[in-house]
Amino acid sequence: MNWTTIKEYQEILFEQYGHIAKITINRPHVHNAFTPLTVSEMIEAFTISRDDASIGAIILTGAGDKAFCSGGDQSIRGNGGYIDDHNIPRLNVLDLQRLIRIIPKPVIAMVKGWSIGGGNVLQLVCDLTIAAENAVFGQTGPNVGSFDAGYGSGYLARVVGHKKAKEVWFTCRQYSAQEALDMGWINTVVPLEEVENETVAWAEEILKKSPTAIRFIKAAMNADTDGLAGLQQFAGDATMLYYTTDEGREGKNAFLEKRDPDFEKFPKFP
Ligand code: 2NE
């Protein structure tokens, strides 16, 4: 596959193939553990992908075949978060999780090897997950003095059920790709050498569908799990559509033309 670089970064790769963007955590020497810089670079790359109308789907992955992501880099964990270059402790991965949830385009995790800790929460919050046969999934927080009681727990319980989610967190066991598939944690498992072609094929299949339909389906499912914040996202999509209608424009035009709006002519569907 011929990926072209969109922008150079220090700790991630950011590439494009057709209408697909690929964001790769590029720290294979630590199984792609993330630092505050990795996360801020991902936030920027996701934001660029969100704003670029030529991009319709985003793949998140890790460099090499050994790991998707092993979570926060424990070597720079300090009081209150992961320490950045300015000596400020950050948990900016939580902002990244939210961004992945609200981007109105499908985000697909492509998982090779370890998907562990905060890295596994990143694959969880992606809309779909395509795994290689060597993928291993698990949480480590209670072993290493950490936890994700947000999406990492509550949303996991929605995805795999409460009993399994508690098992995952209470025992910190590691699960094979097939076990994760059986739990409904991921979408499919393919041989390692096929995982990129398969992930791109899924993205291209979705890209043939109505982008507005996909946008609303994602927002609706997230509204169910994200409460009022999810409803705000869904409502924003509805407002965007309303602005494209004659009825929506009539209100704006009437104000600018200093006249009463004429909404009589618009249908009142049952
Ligand atoms: C992933 C796992 C199970 C792999 O084990 P193995 O034996 O295959 O590899 P190894 O030797 O442990 O790792 C290779 C190198 O990567 C480093 C290791 O220290 C090792 O370095 P060297 O000894 O070669 O110098 N490495 C791996 N993961 C790292 C990490 N997360 N931070 C820094 N260095 C790391 C095994 O490596 C493992 O268990 N890793 C730790 C996973 C973990 O506990 N992650 C943090 C969870 S908490 C979190 O992510 C989080 C949160 O809970 C809440 C908010 C935000 C983040």
- Report pLDDT digits (tens) over 62-71: 999 999 999 9
The CA distances from residue 127 to 58, 103, 108, 217, in Å, are 10, 10, 6, 11
pLDDT over 90 at 105, yes or no: yes
The residue whose CA has the least distance to atom 22 of ligand 1 is 30
pLDDT reported for residue 159:
98
Q: DSSP code of 193? A: G
Is 243 one of the annotated binding-site residues?
yes
Is the ipTM value over 0.90, yes or no?
yes
The total of other beta-carbon atoms located within 10 Å of residue 268's CB is 5
Q: Please work out whether the CB of residue 73 comes within 6 Å of at least one atom of ligand 1.
A: yes
Closest-lying ligand 1 atom to the alpha carbon of residue 72:
50
Ligand 1 neighbour 31 (Cβ under 6 A): yes
Asked whether the predicted pLDDT for residue 43 surpasses 90, the reply is yes
Structure token digits, residue 142: 């209670």
- The overall pTM is greater than 0.95: yes
